Amino acid sequence: MTHTRSNHWLTIVGIGEDGWEGLSVQAKQAVEAAEVLYGGSRHLSHIPMAVNATRVAWPSPLAPAINEILEQRGQRKVTVLASGDPMLHGVGVTLTRTLNNEEYHVIPGVSAFSLACARMGWPVSEVTLLSLVHRPIEQVVRHLAPGQRLVLYSEDGTTPAAIARLLTNAGYSESRLHVFENLGGANEEHRSELAAAWIGELCGNLNLIALICAVDATARPLSIVPGLPDEAFETDGQFTKREVRAATLARLAPLAGQMLWDVGAGTGTIGIEWMRVHPSCSCIAFEEREDRAARITTNAKRLGVPSLKVIQGQAPATFAELPSPHAIFIGGGVGDEGLFEACWERLASGGRLVVNAVTIESESCLASWHRLYGGELVRIQVARAEPIGPAYGWRQTMPITQWVVTKS
């Protein structure tokens, strides 16, 4: 079936720092045909006064203007100006989320991401793009790896200095920052400096950062493969140890876009490693103790997954009104009355549930549930070599009984 755009009411036009002259003929026609023209003040300033559309500059916050545009659905010809490619971390994503494909037409410009890669001589397909606009800066940590190429959309002029500090604290002080201001415009500027030497000067608000990650000689890069070193986490001793954690994540089987509930989260190790697998993975960690809940948030930020949600309180009372997860891990409170039943009820169809037990009593619960619901029971036992005088011997850790089941 062939679709046409002849009846669309909304056009979203990407515009660069080269302004009106940089627009294609099609983009200029869309602007000239508009009854209402939305955009940032700097975008609107590029449009010739001969264009008769009513001009509306974006307010702050943006949400009221988005609602206003959608309320005009089909009533007026609306054109929205957006930076570069509107569908690359742009307003086009927000505007089109609830619209039918036939209602709008997007005319992209050259993105700042593509321009940055061109300036650096980097293959676009081999570079990771992150937007820090209204997003926590700690998300960058998850993507740090020797030789990794990153392009970061800055929040404002303070972002480069903040990134330099983050890199230095994470053991990547030798990484070189390339900061581009007004990219693609007549006033484009480029400055370059190592993270460790960045003096913290304020940059122009319209900037982005390109960098190649370079690890310090004494630093230890962290993999996104589950099983981070135990010492990577701040803990009071209540956490799932490395080998068991890796085995547990393998059975939880995180997939892109899926949500985990980490019940009785303790230090938050399982939920954090779940989210490190892919940027679109999400997690809600449930923890009864206030101090541990705060520690989970600290660990999540330090390890690059600041969007992990922590709910402090006693489960399952804290489950109310939350979306059903694709997977649940019960690491604490296995014997609490009604906890498993509430988890099982809320787990999405086809979802995975993994429960780790240490005590004889909790192991008995797993055996009972296994008889009722099926799944697999696994015993995990780890031994570590430790000094015994001048020699080494094996010291056994406490055995873990693990129950894994998929909800039909």
Digit-coded pLDDT (tens) for 116-156 = 999 999 999 999 999 999 999 999 999 999 999 999 999 99
Which of 240-249, 275-284, 305-314, 331-340 has the weakest average pLDDT? Answer: 331-340
Taking only the tens place, the pLDDT of each residue in 225-249 is 999 999 999 999 889 999 999 999 9
Phi-psi domain of 341 (left: phi exceeds 0; alpha: psi -120 through 50; beta: other) = alpha
Place 6 in a pLDDT band, splitting at 50, 70 and 90.
low
Closest to 254 measured CA to CA, from 281, 283, 284:
281
Based on the fold, state whether residues 234 and 270 are members of the same structural domain: yes
pLDDT digits (tens, 9 = 90+) for 331-368: 888 989 999 999 999 999 999 999 999 999 999 999 99
- Could you tell me if 398 and 279 lie in one domain? yes
pLDDT of residue 3: 46
Phi-psi region of 205 (alpha: psi -120 to 50; beta: other; left: phi over 0): alpha
Residues 29 and 50 both lie in one domain: yes
Q: Are residues 272 and 398 in the same domain?
A: yes
Same-domain pairing of 246 and 383 = yes
Residues 118 and 103 in one domain: no
Q: What predicted TM-score, i.e. pTM, was given to this entire model?
A: 0.91
**DSSP string covering 27-52:** HHHHHHT-SEEEE-HHHHTTS-TT--
* The domain boundary residue, chosen from 90, 110, 130: 110
Q: Are 351 and 406 in contact (CB under 8 A)?
A: yes
Domain containing residue 61: CATH number: 3.40.1010.10
pLDDT of 1 higher than 60: no
* pLDDT at position 52: 93
Provide the CATH number for the domain around residue 165.
3.30.950.10
Q: Please tell me the predicted confidence (pLDDT) of residue 335.
A: 86
Nearest to 285 by CA among 301, 298, 299, 296: 296
Are 16 and 122 part of one and the same domain? Answer: no
pLDDT higher than 90, residue 7: no
As a residue count, the chain comes to 408
**Residue 148 falls inside a structural domain:** yes
The answer to whether 261 touches 286, Cβ cutoff 8 Å, is yes
Residue-range definition of the domain harbouring residue 48: 10-110
234 and 373, same domain (yes or no)? yes
Do residues 202 and 123 both lie within one domain? yes
Question: What distance in Å separates the CA atoms of residue 240 and residue 237, rounded to the nearest whole number?
Answer: 9
Which CATH number characterizes residue 249's domain? Answer: 3.40.50.150
pLDDT tens digits for range 48-82:
999 999 999 999 888 999 999 999 888 899 999 99
How many domains does the chain contain in total? 3
Residue 323: inside a domain, yes or no?
yes
Q: DSSP string covering 44-88, please?
A: HTTS-TT--SEEEE--SSSHHHHHHHHHTTTTS-EEEEEES-TTS
Domain membership flag for residue 28: yes
